Amino acid sequence: MDRKTKYWIIVASKDHVKKGLAEGFAQACHGKSGPLKRMKKDDFIIYYSSKQTMNKPDKCQEFTAIGKVADEETYSFQMSEDFCPSRRNIEFFKNEAVSILPLINELDFIQNKKSWGYPFRFGFFEINQHDFDLISQQMLKQEYV
């Protein structure tokens, strides 16, 4: 049975996204494994960063990274004595960060355009191919093939 490709948004501060980009992994929802286990090899992810830095007020409001799930493995990584988050290996694409503001009216997953930040409070959610294509074309400056 062929599984349809899925497209996911993960919410994280831009400083955290940069670490994942450098090391080729994704974390979601403060290290929980559940969201990552929903992803399958060859699904696509886009990171959205509402802030530049976690726990600071500096706004970002950009899609900051895009990539493809590299394998089927969800694994734990001991970051510190009391923090062992789950991770997924991601093949990230070279991209430009893109502001969400000019895209809000065209994105299906944002139903209430006045409260456009609402969907991001979940930290991880699936989007449709239309929304993925719209965002990825801006980030990659070309149509994804």
Task: Identify the CATH homologous superfamily for domain 7-140.
Answer: ph1033 like domains (3.10.590.10)
| pLDDT for res 141 | 82
Residue 57 has phi, psi (to 5 degrees) of -80, 0
pLDDT score at 142: 57
Model confidence, pTM: 0.92
The values of phi and psi at residue 77, to 5°, are: -135, 120
The whole-number pLDDT of residue 107 equals 98
Which residue ranges in the chain fall short of pLDDT 50? 143-145
Q: What is the pLDDT of residue 145?
A: 46
Distance CA 81, CA 69 (A): 28
Task: Tell me the Cα Rg of the chain.
Answer: 15
In the block, tokens 């990274």 appear at 65
Give pLDDT tens digits for 45-69: 999 999 999 889 899 999 999 999 9
Instruction: Say which residue the tokens 């993925």 belong to.
Output: 132
- Those residues whose C-beta lies under 8 Å from the C-beta of residue 112, and which sit 6 or more positions away, are 118
Query: E strands of 3-145, at which residues?
Result: 7-11, 25-26, 44-51, 59-76, 86-92, 98-99, 124-127
Residues 70 and 41 sit within 8 Å (Cβ to Cβ): yes
Distance CA 63, CA 94 (A): 13
Domain locations along the chain:
7-140
